[in-house]
Structure 1
């Protein structure tokens, strides 16, 4: 299927690692020119060179002025901006004490400021460029939006869902589709790394770990003109968590 991304321009936040890096690779494979955004210039430069990105921009997404400047620089590097994929977020804390006992005020605020407001800041800065020819924003959230145990994890991810639908309603009339993807525990390569982590990642209905490349393929479809009808949708990409029913 031709995803009609050839010649388009895309910005991927958090594009120097994990799912963000996989998304950048997948977009480039589809013929898009990609700029990656992150905080570490050295890592960004190395990743951009390795994957064949059009360039990189450095910004902390908690800083609105830095975000606006970085998005403008990205649009200038690309000559246009058709796609934004928001992946930049603090790493999950697997050893965090669960529930109210583990709630640290500063940690919750950092997660919301970086992931929720950070996504909103990038979308706000990118909207004028996306409006020129329509486009797409894909927000990467996570399955903690649908589970308890980490208040910070649940709050930041369910808030991304609310942000996504608000943006979809607000920007849809401008031809901009906005969707949200919930990855589960995702591995860069299920054949490498900790065997225990691989086992946990395989506890889904498919019985195998889901890779970052697989999640990226779904995101790239939603970011393409083929994915526009999904505007406002929330898509899970965890291999099918047993038990729950979501209408």
Structure 2
């Protein structure tokens, strides 16, 4: 299937590793021109070398001025923007103790600032470019949005869902669609050699591991012109977590 992404101009945040990097590769494979954004310049350069034709822009998504400069630079280099994929977020580490006892105020604020508000900063900076001809925004959230046990992880991810729907309502009638995806336990370079993680990650409805490339394939579709009806949708990509019904 031709996704219609040949020549599309895409910005991927968190593009130096994990799902973000896999998305960059998937979009490039579909013929898109890709700009990868991350904080770590060295890691970013190494990642870009694995993505056909990719360019890089460096920014800290907790710094609005940095974000605006990076987004404008990406748009100038690519000649505009058609796609934004937000994947720049720190790992949601399990708290040292459950519930309120494990809630770290500084970590909570940092996680929300980086993931939820950081995503908003990127879209705000990119919107004038996207509105020039319509576009796609895909926000990477996570299954902590649908589970308890990690307050910070749940709040930062459900905030991304709320942000995505607000943006879908606001930008959709202007031709920009916004979707949100919930990866579950996903195999990336961070955990590919962790037997305990891999065993747990395979415990889904498919009884197999879900890789960053699996997630990226769905994200690439959501970035395509074919996915316009999905505006405002939240897509679960966890292989089918057993025991829960989502209406």
Fold shared by both chains (TM-score > 0.5): yes
In the alignment, what sits opposite 2:28? 28
Q: What secondary structure does 2:62 align onto?
A: coil
Matches for 1:72-221 after TM superposition, within 5 Å: 72-94=72-94, 96-188=96-188, 192-221=192-221
1:53-95 Cα shifts (integer Å, max 9, x gaps): 4310110000001100000000011112000000000112146
Task: Flag the 1:107–1:190 CA change in 2: closer, same or farther, 3 A.
Answer: closer
Provide the rounded CA distance (Å) in 2 between the counterparts of 1:96 and 1:210.
27
Task: Flag the 1:147–1:132 CA change in 2: closer, same or farther, 3 A.
Answer: same
Task: Flag the 1:81–1:190 CA change in 2: closer, same or farther, 3 A.
Answer: closer
Provide the rounded CA distance (Å) in 2 between the counterparts of 1:89 and 1:96.
20
Q: What secondary structure does 1:181 align onto?
A: strand
Whether the 8 Å CA contact 2:191–2:197 is kept in 1: the answer is no
- TM (norm. structure 2) is 0.97
2:239 aligned with 1:243: no
Provide the rounded CA distance (Å) in 2 between the counterparts of 1:37 and 1:98.
34
In the alignment, what sits opposite 1:7? 7
Task: Flag the 1:184–1:228 CA change in 2: closer, same or farther, 3 A.
Answer: same
Q: What secondary structure does 2:36 align onto?
A: strand
Whether the 8 Å CA contact 1:9–1:82 is kept in 2: the answer is yes
Provide the rounded CA distance (Å) in 2 between the counterparts of 1:237 and 1:216.
10
Long gaps (5+) in structure 1: none
- Between 52-61 and 167-176, report the one with greater CA deviation: 52-61
2:68 aligned with 1:68: yes
Provide the rounded CA distance (Å) in 1 between the counterparts of 2:111 and 2:50.
29
Provide the rounded CA distance (Å) in 2 between the counterparts of 1:148 and 1:133.
40
Provide the rounded CA distance (Å) in 1 between the counterparts of 2:217 and 2:150.
28
- TM (norm. structure 1) is 0.97
Q: What secondary structure does 1:50 align onto?
A: coil
Task: Flag the 1:104–1:128 CA change in 2: closer, same or farther, 3 A.
Answer: same
Runs of 4+ in structure 1 off by over 3 angstroms are 189-192
- Structure 1 vs Structure 2 CA RMSD: 1.4
